[in-house]
A and B are shown apart, each in its own frame.
Chain A
Amino acid sequence: MPAVLGFEGSANKIGVGVVRDGKVLANPRRTYVTPPGTGFLPGDTARHHRAVILDLLQEALMEAGLTSQDIDCIAYTKGPGMGAPLVSVAVVARTVAQLWNKPLLGVNHCIGHIEMGRLITGATSPTVLYVSGGNTQVIAYSERRYRIFGETIDIAVGNCLDRFARVLKISNDPSPGYNIEQMAKRGKKLVELPYTVKGMDVSFSGILSFIEDVAQRMLATGECTPEDLCFSLQETVFAMLVEITERAMAHCGSHEALIVGGVGCNMRLQEMMETMCQERGARLFATDERFCIDNGAMIAQAGWEMFRAGHRTPLSESGVTQRYRTDEVEVTWRD
């Protein structure tokens, strides 16, 4: 019954989780929140993570009721993500692994999301829509790889939402996407925005440029409200995501869809995906904010699977990498 400790800190969330045999024993997390109108810079984010990571480690062990001797493996986010935060977390993971004399495992962040989604929902072989501030991919498992069927060709959908939130100076607490979602519920008017699906892929930079351009003018003239813009942006980008997910499901003959990543917490996105799945006779799976948003337990879970399959990361190869494709990892723990 191996117990794995996982460190996650690739963006502005830092989490330490403990998983043992499919059970999440602990999953504390902290978020680095910046003032409205601003985003998070790598150096500041890393500084935040350095300040809290050891407290989180202590908290995780206490919550799990375990000591260092009970842990069988240390997992950490190898990538993708922001360099300075990744490095800070990796230093702690390496040090702890040596001090406790435990094997170390570098985990792909995207695969962490997928494996946690599979664990929590019980989905067997879904088409995965992975949507967050840093990533937007449609993924399906095939022959020992999580294959990317479609993705953004420029910025992630969460990045689009976050940067729009800055234009309107929407609060980043608890997250800009959450606040956009709440404002969108009060939107009444659909503003036509560029809809950009390119085959299996999507593009969000154009819609962001457009809405950044027109927002101030339309708000100043009273043509629409900020709530209308939030509503319109969500409806447009989410419809794009539903389209490419449906296309992948049709391609794979899939009857399951799983949403993972921070944007997956959005109830409107889940609602639109549910409608599409029902029309196809498919089933939708989604998790709540504990596991949708970046967290340590997802790294621990992916690490647990990898550990049992015999993966190990030597210290000399335990660097981090800002660009780490989901399909680079050989998924030896699945048939």
Chain B
Amino acid sequence: MQAADLGGGGVAGGAEGQGGPDVPGGQEGPGGGGAGEAGAAAGGAPPVERAPHAPGPGGDALRGLGGHALPGPGGHAAPWPGGHAAPGPGGHAAPGPGGHAGPWPGTHAASRLGGPVRPTATGPGSQLLQFSLTVSFPSPVEAEMAGQSLAPRVQPYQGAVQKELIVSGNILAIRLTAGDPGQLRISITSCLNQLSLLVQTMQHSVPLFFTKPRPGNRA
């Protein structure tokens, strides 16, 4: 996660984050931006390169998810420090409220936004934490739009939180992976804020999409 947006000189929560310690904001330094914004990420995870629009892996299509609202605090979020860590890659993805596995392993007919993702390097004894979220949209068009709106990140991204977006039908699946619970928490908040804003923008711009049921969509 970027240690960015220093503003008045302290560390805020990163470009995607919600601010950090109580340090005055504002911009510093030539060219604007936070003075200390050097993309220094705690944990030293290697930067994740993103190639444009690589197709997703093959496997079973998504089933049984239909119509997930944004999960509440008791949903997919990774536990706070002191609780049980969610398994990292290679373990089971957190199941949805209907008990079905998320789209990640063996999903096909899905488009992965943001390109291929490299495994996050961790030190000995560390454990990756994950947050997974699936959101259903009225149609595949809106889901794809949502994915395209959320995929781009602050450039250059040198943080330690991996973000994966997969669109499958009318479902947008988001997964955040990090070794540091604090960074993951900030990234989750940022992601949910952006998602909320995106949905509001869609509703504001094309309200009928969200008020009328459309034929062929799952409830």
Binding site for B on A (CB under 8 A): 10-12, 34, 38-47, 50, 53-54, 57-58, 68, 79-84, 86-88, 90-92, 94-96, 98-100, 109-110, 133-135, 137, 148, 151-156, 159, 162-163, 166, 315-326
Contact = CB atoms under 8 A, between A and B. Distances in A.
A47 B13 CA distance: 14
A84 B5 contact: yes
B145 A82 contact: no
A145 to B, nearest CB: 14
A99 B145 contact: yes
B32 A322 contact: yes
B19 A135 contact: no
A42 B5 contact: yes
Contacts of B167: none
B27 A82 contact: yes
B27 A43 contact: no
B17 A95 contact: no
Interface stretch (B41-49, B57-65, B119-127, B198-206): B198-206
B218 interface: no
B201 A83 contact: no
B34 interface: yes
A88 B34 contact: no
Contact of A42 (B13, B146, B157, B200): B13
Contacts, number: 212
A84 B190 contact: yes
Interface stretch (B97-105, B130-138, B147-155, B172-180): B147-155
A80 B34 CA distance: 9
Interface residues of B, number: 54
A48 B150 CA distance: 19
The interface centre, meaning the residue of A12, A50, A58, A94 with most chain B CB atoms within 10 A of its CB, is A94
A50 B197 contact: yes
Interface string B1-42: 010110110001111111100111111111111110100000
Give the 10 A-B residue pairs with the shortest CB-CB distance, closest first: A83-B15, A134-B27, A39-B24, A43-B19, A80-B32, A43-B18, A322-B33, A319-B152, A40-B25, A42-B5
Given A50-B193, A87-B154, A92-B197, A163 B205 contact: no
Given A42-B12, A42-B25, A94 B204 contact: no
Nearest to A325: B31
B24 A38 contact: yes
B5 A82 contact: yes
Given A323-B31, A325-B31, 12 more contacts: A42-B25, A43-B17, A83-B2, A87-B190, A87-B194, A91-B197, A99-B202, A110-B31, A163-B24, A315-B151, A317-B152, A324-B31
A57 B198 CA distance: 14
Contacts of A155: 28-29, 35
A245 B115 CA distance: 46
B92 interface: no
9 contacts: A43-B12, A50-B197, A83-B33, A87-B190, A133-B27, A134-B27, A322-B5, A324-B33, A326-B31
B83 interface: no
B52 interface: yes
B32 A54 contact: no
A41 B201 contact: no
